[in-house]
Amino acid sequence: MDKFKQLESFALVATRGSLTAAARAEGVAPAIMSRRMDALEARLGVKLLVRTTRRLALTHEGSAFLEDCQRLLADLANAEAGVSAGGLQASGHLRITAPAGFGRRHVAPLVPDFLARHPEVTLSLNLSDRVVDLAAEGFDCGVRVGDLPDSSLVSVRLADNRRLCVATPDYLRRHGIPLHPGDLVRFDCLTLSSEASQTRGWAFTVDGQVEYLRPGGRVDCSDGQVLHDWCLRGLGLAWRSTWEVEADIAAGRLVEVLGNFAAPPNGIHAMLPQRKHLPLRLRLWIDHLRRHFAHPAFSSRALA
C-alpha cells in the first residue's frame, strides 16, 4: 500500500474526527479508510487512534505523528506548487469560515476574484456566528471580528474594527438618552445570545480604562443581522460595528449614543491553526484578504 496515501488518510481522519467523515471527503468507503489506518499502525508498530462506536481520539503518539504528517504533506504541496507554472500556480481546496453578517458583506465578495486569479483552487465558505473550532473542524482559515480569546491559533491582524452604541431616534425620544454606560441598565439592550457571542461584552472607556458591560433586555439573538433589524424597528439599543450601521446613521435611521465613552477599536483577524508550512493556496488567500482590508476604500467606509 502507498505509504504516502496512508499518511494522507491518517491526517484526514484526524482532522475530520471520524473514519466516515474522512472517507466521505475522499470519496471512498469507510472500510477502505479503516484498512489504511490498520496498515499504517501495523507498519509503525504503534497505536495512533483509539476508535469506539461513538468517537475517535488520537493517542499521545498519534498526536505527535499528526504534526509530523501535516508538516510533510505541507512541504510536499509547497514543493509541487513551487515548480508548477513558474511557482505561481496554486491548487487544492480551501475551507474558510467567517461570521455570518461580516462574511456576507466582506468575505464572500472576495471569493470570485480570488478563484479567477487561481483557477486550480476550490473553496468552501462557512458563515456562522458561533465560535468555530478551526483545527477540530478541518478549516484552513477563519476570519474573526472582535476580541480574540486565548488560544493556540495564529492570528493575522487585517484591520481595525470600531463598535458603536446605536438606537433609532424614536426609541430615544420615548425612553431617553443614556449619558453614561452605567445608564444602560435602564434600557432595553439587544445582545448576542451567550452561545454566539465572541466578545466579553459591550466595551466602553470609563475614566481612561476599558470596561466591559453585559447589559440585559427583553430579547437576545444568536444572529447579528437580526439584532440590527430589531434595532431599526425600535426595540432597543444595539452595539454594532461601524460597517454594519454607518449607512443607517448617515440616513438618520439610527443615532450613535455614548460616543464620548467609545472604546479603542478591536480587530479583524485571519486565524490559522498553525503558522509554518502553509500551502501556497492559503498564503495567497491571506494576501488577498490583506490587500482588501488595507485598501483605503474599506478603511474609510467601514471603519472610520
N-to-C CA span, the chain:
58
What per-residue confidence (pLDDT) applies to 196?
Answer: 53
The low-confidence residues of the chain, meaning pLDDT below 70, are 1, 53-54, 75, 77-88, 147-152, 194-199, 275-277, 295-304
pLDDT for 178 equals: 95
- How confident is the model over 184-202, as pLDDT tens digits? 999 999 998 765 555 678 9
State the pairing for strand pair 255-257/163-167.
antiparallel
What is the model's pLDDT at position 242? 86
pLDDT value at residue 152: 62
Query: Whole-angstrom Cα distance, residue 237 to residue 190?
Result: 6
